[in-house]
Amino acid sequence: MEEPSKRELVLGIAGLGTVGAGVVKILTGHADLIAARAGMPVRIKAVSARDRSRDRGIDLAGYDWYDNPVDMASDPEINLIVELVGGSDGPALALAKAAIEKGKAFVTANKALIATHGKALATAAVGSGAALRFEAAVAGGIPIIKALGEGLAANEIKVVRGILNGTCNYILTRMEREGLAFADVLADAQRLGYAEADPTFDIDGIDTAHKTAILAALAFGKEPNIASLPTEGIRNIAPVDIEYAKELGYRIKLLGVVQRTDEGIETRVHPAMVPAGAALANVMNATNAVVVEGDFVGQTVYVGAGAGQGPTASAVVADIVDVARCGAGGFAFGIAPESLAPYVPVPVEKHRGTYYIRLRVNDRPGVMADITAALAKEQVSIESMLQRGRAADGGVYIVLTTHETVEAAISSTLNRFTKLECVLETPTMLRIEAF
């Protein structure tokens, strides 16, 4: 891209949804502030979106309009492209490739794009001298990309854990506070606009997985690899599990985890029991949070709004200012893209940890003997056990937590449980996250 010595940053913005409109509002409403912090004027020249007639609450009259966003990359006056279209392929990827190939800075909030094509785009950016920035792709307004890539650069990272999806955290918060079933809270969240009409991307953990793959690249120098990331969502969390979690001293949160282990770099997304005293346990509603442990800095905690117009647009504009100040300086993932090692996943069955298991069983003599025999055959030892009355739909609940073991043993134990005549439904298992 043209270096800051040219004294003006000229933007083309693709995508004028909630975040795109927010970026325009910040750049026009804070023009003098942004210019002072960037060291030069920052000017929008062109925009692109699917519908010209839609009222977005912003004045677009002074900007060139491109029906095809990729065409903006050929505008000789534009030296920075902002991509807010979304999606891992299609127009977003075409625009990224076109802009970077021409040496234009590229700023995006698109986690799917970066999680899928991040290494290739970073390699192309180094080759053409273009800046590539994606702070808004993970945790909205929380500056976690910059923290991992720059602020914690002196540290060997031990583990990164994050609540990275506000929709899921909102649902789990309301389930806990109001004792509601998952389906009821989801329906209400859709009515209130916290969840999409098709919530699959959020509640099945896919959104969190994209963000976790990016954090793995930054923290451990691993090529983003969304295809190899074990991912579970929150569909099967029941109010009874939330109540038992509370009794045992935990809260249930959907986590993205990247962790250095004896087996390698373990990357996973799943609901987990989080100790009630841990920082992440106390992050409620639609808020996001990330906890990073480094060998010299210790634990650092980042909390804030993970989505929404203001926070996400703020992160996009922060990247724009960074480009104005630094040009293409620095690597997108904190290290040279050719140094991003292929990610070889640690098999989930090798994960070591402690576990929560809930069973609904017949209330009859001999049940406990059957359960303990199944555990003994897999050499899984019990740390605690609860039995609380009769379940509403028959039988009784037995809840146990285990001492540390490997997940392969837990999987085998669960298979044994399902074959027991006394077990009335598929067992529920949650990992207990060690802090």
Query: CA–CA separation, 13 vs 383, rounded Å?
Result: 55
pLDDT tens-place string over residues 332-376: 999 999 999 988 889 999 999 999 999 999 988 899 999 999 999
Query: CA–CA separation, 259 vs 233, rounded Å?
Result: 19
Domain covering 4-141+310-339, topology: Rossmann fold (3.40.50)
pLDDT for the residue numbered 387: 86
- Report the pLDDT averaged over residues 177-183: 96
Query: CA–CA separation, 376 vs 383, rounded Å?
Result: 13
Instruction: List all residues 6 or more positions away from 8 whose beta carbon is below 8 Å from its beta carbon.
Output: 40, 41, 42, 43
Active-site residue identified among 111, 146, 211, 222: 211
Query: CA–CA separation, 4 vs 212, rounded Å?
Result: 32
12 membership: H or E segment, kind and range:
strand 9-14
Which whole-number Å values give the CA distances from 230 to 89, 328, 346, 358, 397, in the listed order?
Answer: 22, 34, 10, 22, 28
CATH superfamily of 144-305: Dihydrodipicolinate Reductase; domain 2 (3.30.360.10)
Helix (H, G, I), strand (E, B) or coil at 7: coil
Which whole-number Å values give the CA distances from 288 to 199, 280, 355, in the listed order?
Answer: 18, 9, 24
pLDDT tens-place string over residues 228-285: 899 999 999 999 999 999 999 999 999 999 999 999 999 999 999 999 999 999 999 9
Domain covering 349-432, topology: Alpha-Beta Plaits (3.30.70)
Which whole-number Å values give the CA distances from 132 to 136, 184, 326, 426, in the listed order?
Answer: 12, 41, 12, 46
Tokens of 105: 């800075």
Between strands 132-133 and 64-65, the pairing is unpaired
- Residue 5: band (very low, low, confident or very high) from pLDDT cuts 50, 70, 90: very low
pLDDT tens-place string over residues 192-233: 888 888 999 999 999 999 999 999 999 999 998 888 899 999
pLDDT tens-place string over residues 17-76: 999 999 999 999 999 999 999 999 999 999 999 988 888 999 999 999 999 999 999 999
pLDDT tens-place string over residues 85-115: 999 999 999 999 999 999 999 999 999 999 9
Helix 31-38 with 309-326: angle, nearest 10 deg:
40
Query: CA–CA separation, 207 vs 306, rounded Å?
Result: 12
Listed by start position, the domains of the chain span 4-141+310-339, 144-305, 349-432
Q: What rounded mean pLDDT belongs to the chain?
A: 94
Query: CA–CA separation, 165 vs 362, rounded Å?
Result: 37
Helix (H, G, I), strand (E, B) or coil at 372: helix
Q: Name the residue among 131, 127, 158, 168 with its Cα closest to residue 338.
A: 127
pLDDT for the residue numbered 227: 84
Tell me whether residue 211 is one of the annotated catalytic residues: yes
